[in-house]
Amino acid sequence: MLALLLVRLLHPKILLLDEVLNGLDQMNRFLLFKTLKYLKKQGTLIIMSGHESLYLELSDEHLWVKNKTIEVVPKHKVRTLFAVVEEGGSVSE
């Protein structure tokens, strides 16, 4: 919680987050998303890594890392890829 407050007060130009949803309960996820939406409106570039479909709500661009390569993936395709992975499948395309 304190980290979220500090980030909001500092108004960073770039915010880099790795697996930021790990270990957060519903209330803290809500507060995090509210803070990230605020920062996004203020012009902060937010770069997040993660494997949960909740990241899609905040994302404008999506990069998929596979076989040591990075590709830009359209939002509709990312939703499909997340659905496959969350159901226990693997992404092979």
DSSP summary character for residue 5: H
pLDDT at 44: 92
Read off the tokens for 39. Answer: 């920062």
Q: Give how far Cα 47 sits from Cα of 89, 92, 93, Å.
A: 26, 25, 24
Q: What is the pLDDT of residue 55?
A: 74
What is the Cα–Cα distance from 29 to 8, expressed in whole angstroms? 15
pLDDT along the chain (93 residues), means of 10: 80 90 89 89 90 76 85 77 59 51
Give the per-residue pLDDT at 13. 93
Is residue 67 left, alpha or beta, with left meaning phi > 0 and alpha meaning psi from -120 to 50?
A: left
**pLDDT for the residue 27:** 92
Number of CB atoms found within 10 A of residue 36's CB: 22
